[in-house]
Amino acid sequence: MLRITIKIRKDLTENELKEEICDKYNMIISDIQDWKIIRKSIDARNKEDVHYVYIVDIEIKQEKKYSKMKNVQVIKKQHIPSLNLNISHKKNIRPIIIGCGPAGLFCSLAFIENGILPIIIEQGKPVEERQKDISQFTKSGILNPLSNIQFGEGGAGTFSDGKLTTNINSPFCQTVLETFVKFGAPKEILYNSKPHIGTDYLITILKNMREYILSHGGTILFNHKFIDFKTNNSSLKSVVYENVITKETFELNTDTLILAIGHSSRDTFYKLYDRGIFLEPKNFSVGLRIEHLRQDIDIAQYGTITKLHLPPADYKLAYHSPNSNRSCYTFCMCPGGTVIASSSEKNTIVTNGMSTFLRDGINSNSAILVNVTPSDFISNSPLAGIDFQKDLELKAFMLGGSNYYAPVQRVGDFLKNTASTFIGKVKPSYKPGITLCNLNNILPDFVSETLKQAIPYFGTKLSGFDNPDSILTGVETRSSSPVKIIRNEHFTSNIDGIYPCGEGAGYAGGIMTAAIDGIKCALASLSDIQPLL
């Protein structure tokens, strides 16, 4: 198979791209036996020559004829790993998965592909009902602590930008992408350099995944909450859970418990700690959300000359303080998105970002975060990071007016350490409402000072980033889990049969890595061989 890298300076359909390649390399279309776009990216380094870069794999007759041409190499055909181990597994009773986020869902799919019928316990609601609870919160400020941006079918990533980017090199990356497409994602995610799905597509995909799991013998218990487990000689014996509506409790015997609990399952972290599961604190980050006009970010990234129909622009920026061990970076950038109310506990403010697939909103936003380490916590408890988060979230709630309005400040005022009194050209997108304030008053000094160094620096890298009218919304505290649940090389905790999994357990950061970790935990529980892990 030939792998061709080609620059394209016009918008093309897939068929037009194929014709363009044939024209450039003197190929006969009828000689092409198979072809596939592997990657599509945008090169905007030179604003006077913004163009696409395609990587395309082509299977063609007389391959040697083209193999020495410029930007052509001969490769082996790609292999996408199967979730079916084709081994005699050791499961006699059904595994239980706590959490219906990407880790729990892909863990469930891996079990089903190997003939195992999992039971998913999810304290939240199906995504359709979850949508109603979130809508009620953003309109009226009435929070359901069990059904919100953090909890419910699909996990925290459902109401986000739906990013599928990752820095890890796993054979399961393509497996996850192919699976999303199978359940309804646009096929462009298979080759876009920065694939994303968007909340609108994710909702449909989740419904399709649910139907598939149920139709293949899996069980999903919504509105049910994991509350305990029982052991026999340091091995898992059973799981105890309750109906969150009726408060009726149940017990299921099992030898496999997948803890795909998500980064906001604080009461579960406390329960695991009380029950002797080994935990440790971990680094995470906190900060604010920053909003700009989408068209300003597009111009800063693409310039004004290009005639290409480019997607809304994104960015990724980092700053390292020369005077401390602090860093600041942008995270979960949402082109054409909104800042969303992401509280999961009463009397707290938490923010996140969300985009639809088209990313066609007026503003673009991103988290700007500063690193936090266990040395910043007030105690040595493995759970001290949770207290650090909660303290910030409560202060933000009070600063916003104790009514779930978010505290907001113009960038120019934040840098001067003065409260904002008006909104400029960038209008905040957060709902149910906002309160103008001085965010410096609630942030730890090291966070505030690092942000005030980083924002002007980012302005030197991306024109207009530090525009005085840009909007800061507080606070973002749930970038990752503050806790790691310790597991060994077999993926189990200190209790045999309990598998810490995904972002909440400290082994993932985002939809893609959480999904991959869910697959790994399922396969590890099925086999001592652990292929591809």
Residue 440 pLDDT: 98
Strand bridging mode 406-410 / 338-341: unpaired
Give the number of other CB atoms < 10 A from CB of residue 310: 15
Predicted confidence band at 82 (pLDDT cuts at 50, 70, 90)?
confident
Domain edge (last residue) among 476, 498, 517: 476
Residue 516, domain CATH:
3.50.50.60
Distance CA 187, CA 191 (A): 8
Which of 519, 526, 530 lies closest to 107, judged by CA? 519
Distance from C-alpha of 230 to C-alpha of 254, rounded to nearest angstrom: 10
Quickly state the pLDDT bin for 88 (edges 50, 70, 90). low
Same structural domain, 171 and 66:
no
Give the C-alpha separation, 25 to 11, whole Å.
19
Residues 342 and 394 grouped into a single domain: yes
Task: State the helix-helix crossing angle for 511-526 and 102-113, rounded to 10 degrees.
Answer: 40
Using a 10 angstrom Cβ sphere, with 0-12 exposed, 13-18 middle and 19 or more buried, the burial of residue 215 is exposed
Let me know: does 478 contact 342? Beta carbons within 8 Å. Answer: yes
> 231 exposed, middle or buried (CB, 10 Å; 0-12, 13-18, 19+)?
middle
Per-residue pLDDT at 530: 47
**pLDDT over 70 at 275, yes or no:** yes
- Are both 21 and 108 inside the same structural domain? no
CB 153 within 8 A of CB 223: no
Give me the CATH number covering residue 62. Answer: 3.30.70.2700
Residue 144 lies in a domain: yes
Average pLDDT, integer, range 464-488: 97
In DSSP terms, 119 is beta-bridged to: 96, 219
Pair 168, 224 in one domain: yes
Tell me the mean pLDDT in the region 25-32.
94
Listed residues 453, 476, 499: the one ending a domain: 476
Position 78 scores a pLDDT of 73
In 201-326, which ranges are E strands? 219-222, 224-232, 235-243, 249-253, 257-259, 279-281, 284-293, 318-320
**Alpha-carbon span 283 to 484, nearest angstrom:** 9
Integer Cα distance of 284 and 103 in angstroms: 20
Q: Is the dihedral of CA 249, 254, 260, 264 positive or negative?
A: positive
86 located within any domain: no
pLDDT in tens, 226-249: 999 999 999 999 999 999 999 999
Say how many CA atoms lie within 13 Å of 124 toward its Cβ.
Answer: 33
Tokens of residue 314, six digits: 């994104």
Residues 241, 350 within the same domain: no
- How far is it, in rounded angstroms, from Cα 265 to Cα 124? 12
Q: Are residues 270 and 394 in the same domain?
A: no
Q: Is residue 115 part of a domain?
A: yes
Would you say residue 316 has pLDDT above 90?
yes
> What Cα–Cα distance (Å) separates residue 422 from each residue in 174, 215, 233, 407, 435?
47, 54, 64, 13, 10
Give a yes or no: residue 434 inside a domain.
Answer: yes
Tell me if 371 is assigned to some domain.
yes
pLDDT at 90: 57
Domain assignment present for 414: yes
Q: Does 337 lie in the same domain as 253?
A: no
Residues 299 and 433 in one domain: yes
Q: Note the pLDDT tens digit of each residue in 353-375.
A: 999 999 999 999 999 999 999 99
Q: Is the pLDDT of residue 81 over 90?
A: no
Residue 496: DSSP 8-state: B
Q: Which domain holds residue 183?
A: 96-280+485-526
What is the Cα–Cα distance from 443 to 202, expressed in whole angstroms? 33
Q: To which H or E segment does residue 458 belong? A: helix 445-461
255 and 330 inside one domain: no
Average pLDDT estimate for 503-520: 96
Omega into 432 within 30° of 0, i.e. cis?
A: yes
* Model pLDDT, residue 532: 45
Q: How many domains does the chain have?
A: 3
What mean pLDDT do residues 440-464 have?
A: 98
What gap in Å lies between CA 383 and CA 390, rounded to an integer? 11
Strands 2-8 and 51-60: antiparallel
* Strand partners of residue 436: 408
Query: Does the pLDDT at position 43 exceed 60?
Result: yes
How far, in Å, CA of 178 to CA of 175, rounded?
5
Q: What are phi and psi of 417, to 5 degrees?
A: 60, 40
pLDDT at 533 over 60: no
Residues 247 and 130 in one domain: yes
DSSP 310: P
At 97, list the tokens: 């998965």
- The percentage of residues in the chain with a pLDDT greater than 90, rounded to a whole number, is 93
CA distances from 128 to 55, 122, 147, 379 (A): 38, 14, 11, 41
Rg of the chain taking only CA atoms, in angstroms: 24
User: According to the model, what pLDDT value does residue 85 have?
Assistant: 66
What are the tokens at 312?
């809304």
Does residue 80 sit within a domain? Answer: no
**CB contact at 8 A, 157 and 356:** no
Q: Indicate the SS3 state at residue 354.
A: strand
What would the mean pLDDT of 137-157 be, rounded to a whole number?
Answer: 96
Cα→Cα distances 411→297, 321, 327, 450, 469, Å: 16, 19, 19, 14, 6
pLDDT band at 125 (very low <50, low <70, confident <90, very high): very high
The secondary structure of residue 81, as a DSSP letter, is P
Q: Are residues 287 and 276 both part of a single domain?
A: no
Six-digit token string for 36: 């596939």
Which among 235, 224, 261, 244 is positioned nearest to 107, based on CA atoms? 261
The closest alpha carbon to 302, from 8, 43, 44, belongs to 44
Q: Give the DSSP letter string of 99-165.
A: --SHHHHHHHHHHHHTT---EEEESS--HHHHHHHHHHHHHH----TTSSSSSSTT-GGGGS--B--
Domain assignment present for residue 85? The answer is: no
Among the candidates 17, 40, 74, a domain finishes at 74
CB 1 within 8 A of CB 75: yes
Strands 351-354 and 363-372: unpaired
* Residue 70 in this model has a pLDDT that exceeds 50: yes
- As given in the structure block, the two tokens for residue 331 are 């995270």
Percent of residues, the chain, with pLDDT higher than 70: 97
Q: Are residues 288 and 228 in the same domain?
A: no
> With 70 as the cut, is the pLDDT of residue 89 above it?
no
Helix axes 102-113, 199-215, angle to 10 degrees: 30
Which amino acid makes up residue 480?
S
